[in-house]
Structure formats: C-alpha cells, structure tokens
Amino acid sequence: MSLVGALPFLKPCLSPSVSPGRQRRHTLPASEFRPLNTQDAISVFEIEREAFISVSGDCPLHLDEVRHFLTLCPELSMGWFEEGRLVAFIIGSLWDQERLTLDALTLHKPKGTTVHIHVLAVHRTFRQQGKGPILMWRYLQYLRCLPNVRRAVLMCEDFLVPFYQKSGFKVQGRCSITVASLTFTEMQYPVRGHAFMRRNSEATGVPQTALLLEDPIQRIESTLLLEEPAQGILADVMGFRSSTMPL
C-alpha cells in the first residue's frame, strides 16, 4: 500500500501567523500528523486507558493489541502530535467482509478494501477543542490517497449516529458485535476519488502543501466554534466499541 500520494496529509499543519524564521528555531513542529509506530504504543494506550476505563471499564484495544496493529498496519493509523507530544490518535486495520464480525476486532486482512476504525481517542487535556472531528476529517482524506481502500467502517452507540452522519458516514444497520451490555450501530463512509486537497490543487494550480495549510482545517475549526453548546459536546464525545468517552 503506497503512501506517496498520502504524504501531504501527514505533513505539519503550521499556523500562518508563525514566521518561517521563528519556526526554524523550534526543534519540533508545532503540530504534526503522522502514522503511529510501535514506539508510540505506550503513549497510545495511556490515552486510551484514561478515556475508556473510567466510562466502560475496558479499552477497545489492550496494549498488546495496539502493538499488534501498529506492527501489521501502521499506515492505517494516524497520530496528532503537538510539539512532539501525542494528543490524539486513530487506529485502523483492513477488513474483507461487508459487515463487521468479532474477528474484525483483532484481525488485519491485508487483501481487504475496507478500513475498520477501531478507536479514536484524545488526551484529556486537549478535549473540548474539536480535535476529534478534525483528526477524523484528516484521516478520511488520507484514506482517499490509498489506492486499494474503498470504504471506512466503524461501530458506535446510537446517540452518536447523527454526528457521524454529519461527517459523511451512513448507517448500515445494527452491528452484530456487542460488548457487555453495549450494542452498536454499524456505519460506513465511501472512500473514492482523490483527496479533497489534491483535487482542488489540480483545479487551481495551487501546490498541495499550500492548500494543506489553509481553508479546510480552518473551516472545520470555525464550524465547531459556531455550533450550539450541545452539538459541541457531542462533537467531543466520540469513540468506537465503547463509544461514550469524551474527546
């Protein structure tokens, strides 16, 4: 699975107000999106454990499972780093069936064309800032650069269905997977065509890297700030499997 076309979506997203000269003095970029690796596993699990255990008593992925997926398919993960610190992440794997089954929780199917999003979590000190929806947007755009991916799927609790519908996901029906007393709705997002920023860069002649730094992310952040309080809270309550932790 080639990452060449997806690289623009993993470059730092820097504030236009920071001058190049000032930026050069920093060792680490202010904000960076990149695939995770096994060295990130402990940081990932610490964020996930704090987010989920207090709510559901368990984590979507245990530490050995985090390492498992970051070994088999690191290109299907994405971490958001602020000055080198992991603040939010998504972990996915490939699946090769129309609907999710229990095997989808632990297996990676290299020949599959469906990305199963296992977990999205945000560090507690960075919640209520809209980082969850922004990271999801970037991740879905990134998937559009991967040539063999046709769709993304997730399972969420019913009260989150309207939020994911706003993000482009469509309901497939009740999920066959249950966790303790929790039941889920299965949703999918069609991944087709070229990524938003690449398509627009071709039409306008503006370099992809320049487009990466402007309107799309700023528009999302502005929308989140303008939403009603209840919607803002919903936007920060995202998760999969045990989907009640705050983001």
Give the active site residue among 77, 135, 140, 164: 164
What angle is formed at CA 242 by the lines to CA 240 and CA 243, rounded to 5 degrees?
55
| Catalytic status, residue 107 | yes
In the residue annotation, 118 being an active-site residue is answered as yes
CB 184 within 8 A of CB 243: yes
- Active-site residue identified among 7, 14, 72, 107: 107
Give Cα 44 distance to the centre of its chain: 13
Instruction: Quote the CA–CA distance of 53 and 34 in Å, as a whole number.
Output: 26
Q: What is the dihedral of CA 165, 177, 114, 56, to 10 degrees?
A: 70
CA distance 192 to 135: 19
**Per-residue DSSP letter, 61:** S
3-state percent helix, strand, coil for the chain, nearest multiple of 5: 45, 20, 35
Whether 243 sits among the annotated catalytic residues: the reply is no
- Among candidate residues 36, 76, 94, 120, the one labeled active-site is 120
Active site residue 76: no
CB-hemisphere CA count at 13 Å for 193?
Answer: 10
The torsion of the CA quartet 1, 93, 65, 182, rounded to 10 degrees, works out to 170
User: 68, 108, 116, 118: which one is catalytic?
Assistant: 118
Annotation marks residue 164 as catalytic = yes
Question: What Cα–Cα distance (Å) separates residue 88 from each residue in 84, 139, 187, 202?
Answer: 12, 12, 22, 30
| Active-site residue (options: 77, 93, 201, 243) | 93
Query: Residues with catalytic annotation?
Result: 93, 107, 118, 120, 164
